[in-house]
Amino acid sequence: MTEEVKKYDVIIIGAGPAGLTAALYTSRANLSVAILERGVPGGELINTANVENYPGFKSVSGPDLANKFYEGAMQFGADYIYGLVQSIQPGNPYHTVVCDNGTYQAKAVVIATGSVHRTLDVPGEEEYTGRGVSYCAVCDGAFFKGLPIQVVGGGDSAVDEGLYLTQFGESVNIIHRRDQLRAQKILQDRAFSNEKMTFTWNAVVTEIKGDGKKVTSVCVKNTQTGEEQDLPAGGVFIYVGVLPNTEGFRNLGITDDQGWVLTDEDMHTSVLGIFACGDVRSKKLRQISTAVGDGGIVGQEVYQYVETLNNTEQS
């Protein structure tokens, strides 16, 4: 006997700040809501030691803030389901979401799977993430006041964030695998004219070292000579790209060539009834506050969409 597929008004894929905010808004609007998440709620917040730039909190640990988001999202009866989403099959009026632990259907689907920072995959990187290794200057720069900072990368993000870090660090050194930056010329000009900024060219990081509690240095290797050296580091900021979590959705035709989901300002994708919010979107600024803003907008849009469907079915 075929097991009956459970149906909802809305399925939200991902339980970071954007997804949990969307769940709060939609469940509070009396829609039936399921959150599908492959791990613990909170997204990148779980890996953030302290958050000092989220309104309403002078300082709060990432896990604590994640728990507050989760409690708020669940208070109006949303279901939280652990599982890895494998695909979305568009339909009318129900879309089908295929998960590794079952199949679900909903009138609206919200993709809130976020993004992940591309890593260096070198010894010490994982060990010292949150203890000196960071991927967000705006989030963590203030923790490294008066310390030497190493920035890995040579594109817009690395140079722009490196410039931002000069207001905190004793010095900011950019480590780049080539002999010239890839960033926009205006950013390069600002970097080269900043007295706090230095550059290590033709170099790759081979190891991030520490004392067991925090980062102390990075080991770099010259790509031309093979020479290795240790550079002092209180903080290491890595900007070698971010990757969208959209592997299961690219067949829908809603992403750009890099995999970011394209939406309008109201979080609609090009597929009717499928929305996206938060860091998985093609956007300029990826912060907790912008994710929450996206989640609020998509919650209202989903409510209006489902109400329109329901009214159409009843007429």
For the question of residue 219 being annotated catalytic, the response is no
Strand partners, 197: 172
The label of the residue with tokens 């208070």 reads 75
Please give the single-letter amino acid code of residue 205. Answer: V
Candidates 9, 99, 136, 294; catalytic one: 136
Whether 128 and 235 have beta carbons less than 8 Å apart is answered as no
For the question of residue 136 being annotated catalytic, the response is yes
- Strand 95-99 versus strand 102-111 pairing type: antiparallel
Q: Among candidates 261, 260, 270, 272, which has minimal Cα distance to 302?
A: 272
What does the DSSP assignment read for 45-76? Answer: GGG-SEE-SSTT-SSEEHHHHHHHHHHHHHTT
Cα 66 to Cα 8, 15, 48: the distances in Å are 24, 9, 10
Candidates 79, 100, 121, 140; catalytic one: 140
The dihedral sign for the CA sequence 52, 62, 274, 6? negative
Helix pair angle (17-28, 288-314), 10° resolution: 40
The label of the residue with tokens 């290795």 reads 228
The dihedral sign for the CA sequence 241, 242, 247, 251? negative
For the question of residue 139 being annotated catalytic, the response is yes
| Run of H or E including 188 | helix 185-193
Residue 215, both tokens: 């980062």
For 28, other C-beta atoms within 10 Å of its C-beta total 17
Whether 301 and 266 have beta carbons less than 8 Å apart is answered as yes
Strand partners, 60: 51
Candidates 9, 79, 121, 139; catalytic one: 139
Q: Among candidates 206, 205, 232, which has minimal Cα distance to 148?
A: 232
> Hey, which residues are catalytic here?
136, 139-140
